[in-house]
Amino acid sequence: MDSRLHKVWAEGKGALNGWLSIPSTVTAELLAMQDFDSLTVDLQHGLVDYQAALSLFQAVQGWGRTPMARVPWNEPGIIMKLLDAGALGIICPMINTAEDAERFVGACLYHPEGYRSTGPTRAGLLYPDYFPNANRTIVTMAMIETVQAVGNVDAICATPGLTGIYVGPSDLAVSMGKSPGIDPTDPEVVANIDKVLAAVKKAGLKIGIHCLAPSYSRRMVEKGFDFVTLGSDVRMIVAAASGDVKAYRALEAGQ
């Protein structure tokens, strides 16, 4: 069950994650054809529900990318259902306390480490050795994206079974009374992210962050992040279309 994501980490490298927000098997497959290490289906702010998520997992199957999902909230039912559908990792939003993290991890793992119900309908077919390896293999990443969570980062990182932390820079900035945005440069926001980075490294866990620009993403890996998300399918399509249309209009105007 060890996936490409585990192999990248075992080599001491930073992993490149893709983000699937569009409920289309076509766009999911197109991203799966690219050289990502993992692909995360976004059920929180994406346009995707459970049935669409299942289809997206099927679309990317066979391309060698580690299938993951960001759940809408810290709710055991959807966490377990996505794992049964084949997700090998879960990113959970708005983990603010150690208790939040414990509930999250517990929903991802089988007894005795957690309380996940047994019934991996699709996952068990994909991975015949699923049950004995699931607790070791499932990636659990708690999102730290508030000032409260930053204050509790040490306690959150002490959660047994937690793989790592995923920083949500936009919500973190909002919780600080600032404007949302990815690839932040605001000194106060950056200071909080650095605080989280130091705490996670001290705890020996993995740390990820949502980015936009390739250059910023690479800087985060060089800074010590183990997992960086490069924009999203929506942003990539809009950026490419916008650039081409603007180029045409400039030519039309004789510029």
The CA-based angle 192-195-197, given to 5 degrees, is 110
C-beta of residue 197 within 8 angstroms of C-beta of residue 218:
no
Q: What are the structure tokens assigned to 143, written together?
A: 């999102």
Give the SS3 label for residue 1: coil
Residue 209 CA to residue 207 CA, distance in Å, equals: 7
What is the C-alpha end-to-end distance of the chain, expressed in Å? 55
Q: Distance (Å, rounded) from C-alpha 95 to C-alpha 74?
A: 8
Return the ∠ at Cα 47 (arms to 45 and 52), rounded to 5°: 125
Q: Could you tell me which of 219, 213, 230 has the C-alpha nearest to residue 197?
A: 219
Catalytic residue from among 6, 45, 111, 210: 45
- CA 189 and chain centroid, separation: 20
| DSSP of 107-120 | HHS-TTT--PPS--
Output b/e per residue, 198-219; b: 16+ Cβ within 10 A. ebbeebebbbbbbbbeeebbbe
Q: Which of 30, 16, 25 is nearest to 237 (CA)?
A: 30
For residue 45, indicate whether it is catalytic: yes
How many whole angstroms separate alpha carbon 184 and alpha carbon 158? Answer: 27
Catalytic residues: 45
